[in-house]
Structure 1
Amino acid sequence: MSVSVWLALILFLLMVLIGGSKGARSFIALFFNFGVLFMTILFMTDPNADPIILTLIASTIISCITLFFINNVNNKTITAFISTIITITILIFFIVIVTDDAMIQGFSEEEIEEISMFSLYLGVDFVKIGASMIIMSTIGAITDIAISIASPMREIIHHNPLISRKDLFKSGLSIGRDILGTNTNTLFFAFFGGYLALLIWFKELSYSMGEIVNSKVFVGEMITILCAGIGVALVIPITSWITSYTLVKTREKNESSKRVR
């Protein structure tokens, strides 16, 4: 058996032992999400397809799998799902503008030599492809933060049923602030860890600091990190507001129905 298969088996066993049935569903969800990403890439090769629309559809499906398949359908997953979709919709149009203005679309100088034997006339919009790549890189973090805020907020109103909407919203923001710093660092080191070999290559090619900072690959990674951070920051107040509104509205509805009885 290959190393990849052994590592997958170890991961599966650990997820089942620690997470139980939810851990097993999480492991299966990885393969479902991979299938969605793979199909999205195939559809993007069609010149008539719009990568932005495909990304929104793929992000919606991935969010459904991550939230509803793993955590079932309930108050917290529904509010987390709505918050995720709203955040991604806002973020994707912002990213398209940034990607176009920064001109990071297409292939960099470092990649040209390796692909010189292939045709570069692919007939796709690389500005939109670049925006789609950034969104796909951040969807996991945004979904994770949305459920990480919605879940404790539901626990708060369960243990303190008389809490006001304003106080519940503030509690959501407080939870989000604790998550924000660590999650932003996680994104930063995840992206740079993946490009550590590239940075070493830059060093071996005797690139100056100015050439590294202005290279298309480096700028593209920095924009991805910064846009991911913006998405992480945006989803906190959005999730806090939607969750507080939904939970208090549900409580008021239940109270009014009890009075009628």
Structure 2
Amino acid sequence: MNALVLLTLILFVSMTIIGGKKGVRSFVALFINFIVLIITVLIMTDPSANPILLTIIACILISCTTLFFINEVNHKTKTAFVSTILTTVLLLFFIAFITERTMIQGFADEEIEGLTTFSFYLGVDFVKIAASVIIMSTIGAVADEAISISSPMFEIYRHNPHLSQKELFLSGIRIGKDLLGSSANTLFFAFFGGYLALLIRFKDLNYSFGQIMNAKVFRAEMVTILCAGIGVALIIPITAFITSYVLVKFEVGKEQ
């Protein structure tokens, strides 16, 4: 049996046994999001396509799958969805600006050694492509943190309906603080682990510290990590504010 098929079956069985119906939905959501990403990448190869617009559409679809398909449609997931999309749009334009300023778009020297016979004049905007790659690398963590803040806030309000919007907002911030460290570390080690072989290669080639810091591929990775960290930090006050506003303004938490 193919190793990928075997690992997929093990993942499915594990998620089904531990997560039940929600585990099955989570497993299906993985493939739905994978298909969305593949289609988005294929459309991005068209020079007339706008990578930023495609990324926003892809993030909306991924957020819908992650929040509504797995956790069903309710007030908690709706507020988390709005918070996720708002954070994503703000972060996307910020990342596009940073990407252009740091000049990390395109291919680094370490990545093109075996591709020198091919043309790199693809007719696509690599600044926007680089920004799209970074934002789609963080959308899962942002959506997960949004629902992790929104859901406890609804429970807090359901048990304490007398709380003001400010008190609810501060409760959401405190919840987010507990999530921030673990989310940032998860993103850091996920991205950094993927480039561990590159760091070993830097050592074998006797790169100095300055050469490593100025290597395009290393800078691109660090920008990705830092922007992802900004995203998981930014989602906390946005989700806390939107959720507290919805709870107090419409008193939906009492219905849960």
1:121 aligns with 2:131: no
What is the alpha-carbon distance in structure 2 between the residues aligned to residue 68 and residue 246 of structure 1?
Answer: 18
- Measure how far apart 1:240 and its partner are: 0.3
Stretch deviating more after TM superposition (241-250 or 81-90): 241-250
Stretch deviating more after TM superposition (81-90 or 245-254): 245-254
**One-letter code of the match for 1:149?**
I
TM-score under structure 2 normalisation? 0.97
For each residue in 1:210-229, what CA deviation from the matched residue of structure 2 results, as whole angstroms up to 9, or x when unmatched? Answer: 11111001000000000001
Q: 2:246–2:252: 8 Å Cα contact kept in structure 1? A: no
What is the alpha-carbon distance in structure 1 between the residues aligned to residue 66 and residue 213 of structure 2?
Answer: 35
**One-letter code of the match for 2:242?**
I
What is the alpha-carbon distance in structure 2 between the residues aligned to residue 22 and residue 80 of structure 1?
Answer: 18
SS at structure 2 position matched to 1:163: coil
What is the alpha-carbon distance in structure 1 between the residues aligned to residue 210 and residue 4 of structure 2?
Answer: 38
Aligned to 1:238: 238
1:54 aligns with 2:54: yes
SS at structure 1 position matched to 2:115: coil
1:165 aligns with 2:162: no
- Percent identity reads 65
What is the alpha-carbon distance in structure 1 between the residues aligned to residue 27 and residue 237 of structure 2?
Answer: 30
TM-score under structure 1 normalisation? 0.95
1:141 aligns with 2:157: no
Q: 2:158–2:254: 8 Å Cα contact kept in structure 1? A: no
- Measure how far apart 1:250 and its partner are: 2.1
- Measure how far apart 1:20 and its partner are: 0.5
For each residue in 1:47-83, what CA deviation from the matched residue of structure 2 results, as whole angstroms up to 9, or x when unmatched? Answer: 0001000000000000000000000000110000000
Aligned to 2:180: 180
For each residue in 1:185-243, what CA deviation from the matched residue of structure 2 results, as whole angstroms up to 9, or x when unmatched? Answer: 11111111111111111111221111111100100000000000111111000000000
Q: 2:108–2:217: 8 Å Cα contact kept in structure 1? A: yes
What is the alpha-carbon distance in structure 1 between the residues aligned to residue 253 and residue 109 of structure 2?
Answer: 60
- Measure how far apart 1:253 and its partner are: 11
Number of residue pairs matched by the alignment: 255
Q: 2:161–2:254: 8 Å Cα contact kept in structure 1? A: no
What is the alpha-carbon distance in structure 2 between the residues aligned to residue 25 and residue 55 of structure 1?
Answer: 24
**Runs (5+) with no aligned partner, structure 1:** 256-261
- Measure how far apart 1:155 and its partner are: 0.7
Aligned to 1:90: 90
RMSD: 1.4
- Measure how far apart 1:254 and its partner are: 8.0
- Measure how far apart 1:38 and its partner are: 0.2
